[in-house]
Structure 1
Amino acid sequence: EKTHKDEPNLRVLLEHRFSKEKSKSVKQTCDKCSTIIWGLIQTWYTCTGCYYRCHSKCLNLINKPCVRSKVSHKSEYELSICPEIGLDRQDYRCAECRTPVSLRGVPSEARQCDYTGQYYCSTCHWNDTAVIPARVIHNWEFEPRKVCRSSMRYLALMLPRPVLKLREINPLLFNFVEELVEIRKLRQDILLMKPYFITCKEAMEARLLLQLHDRQHFVENNDMYSLQDLIDISSGRLSCSLTEIHTTFAKHIKLDCDRCQAKGFMCELCKEGDILFPFDSHTSVCHDCSAVFHRDCFYDNSTTCPKCARMTERKHDDPPYPRDT
């Protein structure tokens, strides 16, 4: 039998990239044969993509492709709640390895995966649990449910990916989850602050926008969410961290930086009060020219924007360019 040293450090199989492990821990279980990996005497590998782990001797028996490639090629969730088709449609076989299964446990116990709705054998389903995206989006329910091994890996890898457009999938969620409305407003404000930072040398040097590096999508749009975002909204964590970042950003623009302050607006309708910014809660912004006014002054779209009026007048007054003769 090969010794540990004879085994290659890297093996590539079914899009898995298996790296030989150095750990001697005995608390690992082989994903292929479901028995303990004795690190002191057995060589074992972990996939660097999906964290599938197995004995060296089990490597060539693997028939499950790496889940990370599925995440890369098909970044979307099953959005029906536990879409069961029934064991008869599965031919009374495990949905993954096709081992015969039944609900009576003869010859092998059938275990349902709450994410796919399908049934699996005990080798492919270890009763791991995960938060189910469909239950979160339709019921705002975060209780972890039992899932098969491949669903567990897929959901873990998908967790930080912003693939959920809540406004389209379930717009009603915003009507009864107040925290979502609060987060949406904070995200809209941050997008309004972004142009100040990308034209401000001090903000770029202070790397202010990098405070959102682990949620890069917050700097790009305000309607895509990851499942991790929704879990953090539910626990209150996201509201705390985002409010803190919002305060830091607003302080830079309104108090600390002369250059950003100079880009504020005076309300041209009442010509009174402090300098206004588009992310201030008491302001309205003209859709056409982005000028900022007090909300009470520019209370609806029937109010004429003075800046737009000036620009229209200027167009009429400017003589047309003379034609070449």
Structure 2
Amino acid sequence: MEYDERLARFRQGHVNPFDRGENDGTTDRKDTPKLEVRPELFSGEPKSQSSDRAMDLGLAEDHFSRPVGSFVASDIEQLKQAIEECKRLILELPEHSERQKDTVVKLIHLRLKLQELKDPEEDEPNLRILLEHRFSKEKSKSVKQTCDKCSTIIWGLIQTWYTCTGCYYRCHSKCMNLITKPCVRSKVSHQSEYELSICPEVGLDKQDYRCTECRSPVSLRGVPSEARQCDYTGQYYCSSCHWNDTAIIPARVIHNWEFEPKKVCRSSMRYLALMISRPVLKLKEINPLLFNFVEELVEIRKLRQDILLMKPYFITCKEAMEARLLLQLQDRQHFVENDDMYSLQDLIDISSGRLSCSLTEIHTTFAKHIKLDCERCQAKGFVCELCKEGDILFPFDSHTSVCQDCSAVFHRDCYYDNSTTCPRCARMTERKQEEVEL
């Protein structure tokens, strides 16, 4: 009897109002076809139906088509609840099942939408200037970038972000007003020199147990934040200013010829990256003994000296100017200006052997043009006036010596065996005396 009553209530709750046979409010049980009654309709909803209903939580409303301005706090709370429910369902559903994959996709959409609500896209300017940074609006949709201010991922699909064209500082649009670090390129422009002391540590107590840049509290025990030392400056930074990036330290290269990367803070990493190609290291003054221990440096110095001796031939040779031979050193312009200034990249390439190979090849090309290919350059050669024998000499030949006063070229053996003065210098002196007498 109880079963019949429950069945009647179920049928009454599902009456079809468009059925004409039921207009009078009566039901003929004989004419009514028997319904297939499922016990689960009365014993409760199955777990699968409950899971489907929970999985649709947060998606019942069309969040993805509503205008951005119409979202309120309740929408964010509903999305958060839907995210938590999706996370719970992913753990409960069978692994690698289709339903689990669909739930993961829904979770991703919900998280993206929640992020968009927190950081709505606005019409941002393409260029912004702040603390000497020149921020340019990025169009890349990559998600591999990280904000240098808040240390979180930049979701390029839904977030506006900027990159400094000077120091490549990246940040969200919403984080720009919180930036306190000036552009590192301005420091490179005003202070183009390295710290040449190896890790000049002063101690965490001298920093008042605070980060050097943002002044947030730090300690060696990691409470409230871990103190991380920069091997370049020797100072301590918090985890937001020091990401355990590594870089080659100039002081260790110059004093120890050591090229193992060390951990540095973010600002030091950018500074070293901008300075790596600048020729600011004068090794003869900083550490002249380095040439006694590193043979490659002696070889590079000799090649650079030869190139400087070849330069006058090229700047007065029409064919060399048309062939633009000196542009082969455009990446290292200081090589055609002096022979004693080095960049950190030069020293790195010397250590790896790359610079020796490339510079030797360029040296060979230059010498071939002067001694074999160009008649004008050949005519500017020298004949040894001491022995007056042998082939035409050039100042960059390995077996020659050059007079420091008149730049005349002689055989090395002849020059050192001759105890008299340079014949060319003697002629020039005699000519000057004759002019004075006249």
Distance 1:161 1:315, change over 3 A: same
Question: Quick one: which of 260, 276, 283 aligns to 1:159?
Answer: 276
Give the distance between the partners of 2:424 and 2:243, measured in 1 at CA. Answer: 65
**Contact 2:247 2:263 (8 Å CA) reproduced:** yes
Q: Deviations over 1:54-111 (max 9, x none)?
A: 0000001000000001001110000000000000000000011000000111110000
Deviations 1:106-136 (A, max 9, x none): 1100000000000000000000000000000
Provide the C-alpha distance between the structure 2 equivalents of 1:312 and 1:227, rounded to a whole number of angstroms.
45
* C-alpha separation in 2, matches of 1:129 and 1:217: 27
- Following TM superposition, by how much is the alpha carbon of 1:5 offset from its aligned partner in structure 2, in angstroms? 5.8
CA RMSD of aligned residues (A): 1.7
Match of 1:45, SS? strand
How far apart are the structure 2 equivalents of 1:259 and 1:284? 22
SS at match of 2:246: strand
What is the CA–CA distance in structure 2 between the aligned matches of 1:303 and 1:234, rounded to whole Å?
A: 43
1:306 match: 423
Instruction: Report the Cα offset of residue 200 of structure 1.
Output: 0.4
Judge conservation of contact 2:283–2:340 (CA < 8 Å) in 1. yes
Instruction: Name the SS of the counterpart of 1:280 in structure 2.
Output: coil
- Judged with a 3 Å threshold, the aligned counterparts in structure 2 of structure 1 residues 273 and 24 are, in CA distance, closer, same or farther, namely same
Aligned-partner SS, 2:415: coil
CA distance in 2, matches of 1:130, 1:142: 9
- Say which of 260, 263, 277 aligns to 2:380: 263
In structure 1, the partner of 2:137 is: 20
Which structure shows the higher helix fraction?
A: 2
Candidates 185, 191, 196, aligned match of 1:79:
196
Query: Aligned partners of 1:35, 1:80: CA distance in 2, in Å?
Result: 34
Secondary structure at 2:206 match in 1: coil
Deviation readout 1:9-35 (Å, 9 max, x if unpaired): 111000000011111111111000001
Separation in structure 2 between the aligned mates of residue 109 and residue 317 of structure 1, nearest angstrom: 81
Deviation, 1:36, is 0.6
Check the 8 A contact 2:119/2:159 in 1, yes or no: no
| Distance of aligned partners of 1:23 and 1:241 in 2 relative to their CA distance in 1, 3 Å threshold | same
Q: Which runs of 5+ in 1 are unaligned?
A: 319-323
**TM-aligned CA deviation for residue 315 of structure 1:** 2.3
Cα 1:126/1:9, change in 2 over 3 Å: same
Deviation at 1:303?
3.9
Q: How far did 1:316 drift?
A: 2.6
Q: Give the Cα–Cα distance (whole angstroms) in 1 for the partners of residues 277 and 434 of structure 2.
A: 54
What is the TM-score of this pair, normalised by structure 2?
0.72
Q: Distance in 1 between matches of 2:434 and 2:243?
A: 76
Q: Give 1 or 2: higher strand fraction.
A: 1
Distance 1:33 1:49 in 2: 20
Please state how far the C-alpha of 1:300 moved relative to its aligned partner.
6.5
In the TM superposition, residue 283 of structure 1 has moved relative to its aligned partner by 0.3
Larger Rg: 2
SS in 2 for 1:79: coil
In 2: Cα distance, 1:61 partner to 1:164 partner: 36
Aligned-residue identity in percent:
90
* Whole-angstrom distance in 1 between the partners of 2:415 and 2:250: 41
What's the offset of the Cα at 1:299? 1.3
TM-aligned CA deviation for residue 301 of structure 1: 8.2
SS of aligned partner of 1:89: helix
The Cα of 1:304 is off from its aligned counterpart by 1.7
Specify whether residues 185 and 56 from structure 1 end up closer, same or farther in structure 2 by C-alpha distance, changes over 3 A only. same
Shift of residue 313 of structure 1?
1.8
8 Å contact from structure 2 (residues 119, 174) kept in 1: no
Distance 1:261 1:24 in 2: 59
- Is residue 141 of structure 1 aligned with residue 258 of structure 2? yes
Q: Distance in 2 between matches of 1:304 and 1:295?
A: 14
Q: 1:285 to 1:92 in 2, by over 3 A?
A: same
Of residues 194-203 and 305-314 in structure 1, the stretch that sits farther from structure 2 once superposed is: 305-314
Q: Give 3-state SS (helix, strand or coil) of 1:190's partner.
A: helix
- Structure 2 Cα separation of the partners of residues 4 and 178 of structure 1: 59
Q: Secondary structure at the match of 1:37?
A: coil
CA distance in structure 2 between the partners assigned to 1:281 and 1:249 by the alignment? 15
- CA distance in structure 2 between the partners assigned to 1:217 and 1:123 by the alignment: 38
Seen in structure 2, the aligned counterparts of structure 1 residues 141 and 62 have a Cα distance that, compared at 3 Å, is same
In structure 1, distance between residues paired with 2:157 and 2:420: 77
Query: Do the aligned residues in 1 keep the contact of 2:296 with 2:350 (CA within 8 Å)?
Result: yes
Between the aligned partners of 2:418 and 2:322, the Cα distance in structure 1 is 39
User: How many residues are treated as equivalent by the alignment?
Assistant: 320
How far the C-alpha of 1:249 sits from its partner, in A, is 0.3
Per-residue Cα deviation, 1:171-224 (whole angstroms, up to 9, x for no partner): 000000000000000000000000000000000000000100000000100000
Deviations 1:141-170 (CA, angstroms, capped at 9, x unpaired): 000000000000000000000000000000
Quote the offset at 1:3 in angstroms.
5.7
Are the aligned partners of 2:228 and 2:238 in contact in 1 as well (CA < 8 Å)? yes
State which of 389, 407, 412 in structure 2 corresponds to 1:290.
Answer: 407
Q: Secondary structure at the match of 1:146?
A: strand
Give the distance between the partners of 2:119 and 2:227, measured in 1 at CA: 37
Secondary structure of the residue aligned to 1:298 is: helix
Distance 1:7 1:283, change over 3 A: same
Instruction: Give unmatched runs, 5+ long, in structure 2.
Output: 1-117
In the TM superposition, residue 311 of structure 1 has moved relative to its aligned partner by 1.4
Structure 1 residues 306 and 108, CA gap change in structure 2 (3 angstroms): same
Partner in structure 2 of residue 272 of structure 1: 389
Q: Which structure carries more relative contact order (alpha carbon 8 Å, separation 6+)?
A: 1
